[in-house]
Amino acid sequence: MIHTPAAGIVGFALLGAGFAPVVPITFSAAGNTGLGPTGVILGRVVTMGYLGSIVGPIIIGGVAHATGLRGALFVLVVLALVITLAADCLSTAAAGEPVAAPAWPGA
Q: Look at residue 20 in the predicted model and tell me its pLDDT.
A: 87
90 confidence band (pLDDT: 50, 70, 90): low
SS3 content of the chain, % helix, strand, coil (to 5): 75, 0, 25
Q: Look at residue 8 in the predicted model and tell me its pLDDT.
A: 86
Distance from C-alpha of 77 to C-alpha of 13, rounded to nearest angstrom: 15
51 in any annotated domain: yes
pLDDT in tens, 20-71: 888 888 888 787 777 778 888 888 888 988 998 899 899 889 999 999 988 8
Residue with the bigger pLDDT between 60 and 90: it is: 60
The tally of domains found in the chain comes to 1
What's this model's pTM, rounded to 2 decimal places?
0.60
Which domain, by its residues, includes 62? Answer: 23-94
27 in any annotated domain: yes
Summarize the confidence of residues 69-74 as an average pLDDT.
88
Q: Look at residue 93 in the predicted model and tell me its pLDDT.
A: 60
Q: Look at residue 99 in the predicted model and tell me its pLDDT.
A: 58
Distances (CA, A) of 34 to 53, 71, 93: 26, 39, 9
Overall size of the chain counted in residues:
107
CB 30 within 8 A of CB 42: yes
30 in any annotated domain: yes
